[in-house]
A and B are shown apart, each in its own frame.
Chain A
Amino acid sequence: MGRDSFEITVNIVKMFAIFLLMVQAVPILVWLERRGSAFIQNRTGPNRVGPLGLIQLLADAVKFLFKQPFMPERGVAPLYYFAPIAALIPGALALNAIPLSTPIKIEPFEMLGQMWGPYTFLFQGYDIGIGIVFILGISSLGVYSILLAGWGSSNKYSLMGAVRGAAQGISYELALSLALVGILMVYGTLSFKEIVDAQAGPLTFMAFGKEYVIGALPNWGIFYQPLGALIFFAATFAEANRLPFDLPEAEGELVAGFHTEYAGFSLLLFYIGEYGHMMVASALLATFYFGGYSIPFVSPEAVNAFWLAKVDGANTAAILTAVTHHLSLLVRVALFLWIFIHVRWTLPRFRYDQLMSLGWKTMLPWALANVVVTAIWLWLGHRT
């Protein structure tokens, strides 16, 4: 955790900040979703409160705060109240495990009449060696909040939506985790940092024992694993219960799915969980397939040197370097989030049987084929 009070404080604050990053993204994303959908459907969308309707969500949040919370009569109180809190946990825990930028190396400095440091702060909540497996494990716990909400509400539509959601989530989790096997094979590590580091430089690959370099392209995972990336991305839609896979909350059939009985801020907590899930998915997609926080063709040292020349103080430069890389990641994440939103308002919803057969009979076999082809390709390419 840290050697002294400063480091411990910073680390705890850092975790909470990343969690807040997830929370504050929700109003922005909801606004974006509403404005974006209006844009796509040729409407205006919320535009009264504040410039471009930006304050709308703040107003909504205040309204949520003052709504009457109640539980349906036959509901199971502990489960009903715990479910929205549980919805927060997977997203926040997972987001904190992803490196969002380069580590910050702080030289010794003086504060409160005392020398502090040197420190190395990771730009992530905690570094877990088996990062990928940890995130898979944590996000597989997301099913519980759905099931708890469904059961705790004691409403048959909630329960049906919950069970549907759980079945769908686990079905697509298979394709998702199988799609990652390809990436693991290519990089041979479970650590995010090593995966990001491996994606530096120009595109380099081995074929039949010879090395080829394509200078014009960055060395991103998408070029090794195009099919894997596609399956991963599609599966995250289902994992996050987003359209076209939002069967758990199919209004036409199930009222509003597992959170039918929720209102006010507890409903908002579910949304925070869902958007958190999207952010994690986008960050993972960027990390595995699009170079993570790295800037194509520019090494972190070069960025650091650039900032050292601009500002004085090594610590400031280090912080600015990290922020630059973080922005580089945020650009990608924002792009993927927009794709999430765009897809929601473009594609129609699947029928449940189509959804399940897509997951089991199409994506799972393709993901498996991806693994087999990757294995044989790597073997042929690197065999000596």
Chain B
Amino acid sequence: MTADSLLFFILAAMTVGSALVVILASNPIFCSLALAMAMISVAGIFASLNAWFVAGVQLIVYAGAVMVLFVMVLMLFDLKDEVRAFSRGLVSGFFKIASVAVIGGVIAAAVWMSTETIFSTAPAAPTVNATVATKQLADLLFKKYLFSFEAMGALLLIIAIGAVALSRIEGGTHADK
């Protein structure tokens, strides 16, 4: 095995393993920590694809911010192990797993069948270093996708306002007057 493929398989194993813990662990805190692990592994996968800046952002935003929020909220709620972590229903459970299996299988099959025809599997050797690649990214973000970029700014503003407003709600819709 070459170093590159070794790296990929290690990272992939870490990602899938963590993801399995996320959906199987009964304690939500462990779920969130496993998800943080998965995020870090995905950052590694981005890096192995030479998307260094995206990997860094993945670390900072997902692992360093979003998952911290999850962990903090779970600690805030002080949730214990769940007696019944999974939803009930034999029939619907069967349908759920079946549909997921079909989707997963079909995606995998589609990938398997078609990648050869899309383009060759060997990527072009990296020709620019991370800083230059990041500059190319900036070129895209601020020229081609400028509108989306500014829209993102507006979205974040709205979310900031909305989050504060939501956190102020005292009761729910069922609160008695």
Interface residues of A (CB under 8 A from B): 1, 76, 79, 128-130, 133-134, 136-138, 140-141, 143-144, 147-148, 150-151, 159, 162-163, 166-167, 170, 173, 177, 189-191, 194
- Asked if B75 contacts A163 (CB within 8 A), the reply is yes
Give Cα A144 to B71, complex, Å. 9
A-B contact pairs, 30 of them (CB 8 A): A76-B29, A79-B33, A128-B52, A128-B130, A129-B52, A129-B129, A129-B131, A130-B56, A130-B130, A130-B131, A133-B57, A133-B60, A136-B59, A137-B59, A137-B60, A137-B64, A140-B59, A140-B60, A140-B65, A144-B68, A147-B71, A147-B72, A148-B33, A167-B72, A170-B68, A173-B64, A177-B60, A190-B130, A191-B129, A194-B131
B131–A137 CB distance below 8 A? no
- Among A150, A163, A170, point to the contact of B65 (Cβ < 8 A): A170
Q: Is B31 engaged at the interface, CB distance under 8 Å to the other chain?
A: no
Inter-chain contact A130/B52, CB cutoff 8 Å: yes
Interface string of B64-92 (1 = CB under 8 A from A): 11001001100110000000000000000
Shortest distance between the CB of B153 and any CB in chain A (Å): 14
Q: Indicate if the CB atoms of A143 and B64 lie closer than 8 Å.
A: yes
Return chain B residues, CB-CB under 8 Å to A148: 33
Closest A residue to B27 using CB positions: A76
* Complex: chain A residue closest to B126, CB-CB: A129
Contact A144/B56 with A130-B131, A191-B129 known, Cβ cut-off 8 Å: no
Interface presence of B63 (CB below 8 A): yes
Q: Which A-B residue pairs are the 8 nearest by beta carbons? A: A129-B130, A140-B64, A137-B59, A133-B56, A130-B130, A130-B52, A137-B60, A189-B131
The A-contacting residues of B in range 41-61, CB under 8 angstroms, are: 43, 52-53, 55-60
Which residues of A are found within 8 Å of B40, using beta-carbon distances? 141
Tell me which of B53, B71, B72 contacts A130 (CB under 8 A): B53
Chain A residues lying within 8 Å of B129, measured Cβ to Cβ, are: 129, 191
Cβ A141 vs Cβ B59 within 8 A: yes
Task: Find the B residue at minimum CB distance from A129.
Answer: B130
Known: A133-B59, A140-B59, A141-B63. 17 other contacts (CB 8 A): A79-B33, A129-B52, A130-B131, A133-B56, A134-B56, A136-B60, A140-B63, A140-B64, A143-B68, A144-B71, A150-B75, A162-B75, A166-B72, A170-B64, A170-B68, A190-B131, A194-B131
How far is it, in angstroms, between the C-alpha of A335 and the C-alpha of B71 when the chains are bound?
37
Interface membership of B134, Cβ < 8 A: yes
Q: How far is the CB of B55 from chain A (nearest CB, A)?
A: 8
Q: Is B36 an interface residue (CB 8 A)?
A: yes
Minimum C-beta distance from A198 to chain B (A): 12
Q: Is B169 an interface residue (CB 8 A)?
A: no
B122 on the interface (CB 8 Å rule)?
A: no
Interface residues on B, range: 20 to 34
Q: Is B161 an interface residue (CB 8 A)?
A: no
- Beyond A143-B68, A144-B36, A190-B130, whether A151 also contacts B75 by CB under 8 A is yes
**Do the beta carbons of B130 and A141 come within 8 Å of each other?**
no
Residues in chain B near residue A144, CB distance under 8 A: 33, 36, 68, 71
Chain A residues, Cβ within 8 Å of B55: 130, 137
The CA-CA distance from A144 to B4 in the complex, in Å, is: 29
Q: Would you give the shortest CB distance from A197 to chain B, in whole angstroms? A: 13
A321 to B166, CA, bound (A): 60
- B38 to A: closest C-beta gap in Å: 14
Give the distance in Å from the alpha carbon of A167 to the alpha carbon of B72 in the complex. 9
Given A128-B52, A140-B65, A144-B71, verify A191-B130 contact (CB < 8 Å): yes
In the assembled complex, the Cα of A295 lies from the Cα of B40 at a distance in Å of 37
Decide yes or no whether B118 CB sits under 8 A from chain A: no
User: Which residues of B are found within 8 Å of A141, using beta-carbon distances?
Assistant: 40, 59, 63-64
For residue A191, which residues in chain B have a CB less than 8 angstroms away from its CB?
129-131
Complex CA distance for A143 and B68, rounded to whole angstroms: 8
Task: Given A151-B29, A190-B130, decide whether A137 and B56 contact each other with a Cβ distance below 8 A.
Answer: yes
Task: Answer yes or no: B3 CB below 8 A from chain A CBs.
Answer: yes
Closest B-chain residue to A152, C-beta based? B29
B108-155 interface (Cβ within 8 A of A): 129-131, 134
Cα A143 to Cα B72 with chains together (Å): 10
| Among candidates B43, B56, B58, B75, residue contacting A159 with C-beta atoms closer than 8 Å | B75
Q: What does the 1/0 interface line of B10-36 toward A look like (CB < 8 Å)?
A: 000000000000000000010001001
Residues of A within 8 A of B60 (CB): 133, 136-137, 140, 177
**How far apart sit A109 and B55, CA to CA, in the bound complex (Å)?**
39
Q: How far is the CB of B35 from chain A (nearest CB, A)?
A: 12
Assembled-state Cα–Cα distance A170/B60 (Å): 11
- Are A147 and B63 in contact, CB atoms less than 8 angstroms apart? no
Q: How far apart sit A78 and B156, CA to CA, in the bound complex (Å)?
A: 36
Tell me the bound Cα distance from A159 to B76 in angstroms: 10
B64 near A190: Cβ-Cβ < 8 Å: no
Q: How far, in angstroms, from A177 to B59 measured CA to CA in the complex?
A: 14
Residues of B within 8 A of A1 (CB): 3
Chain B residues closer than 8 Å to A194, beta-carbon distance = 131
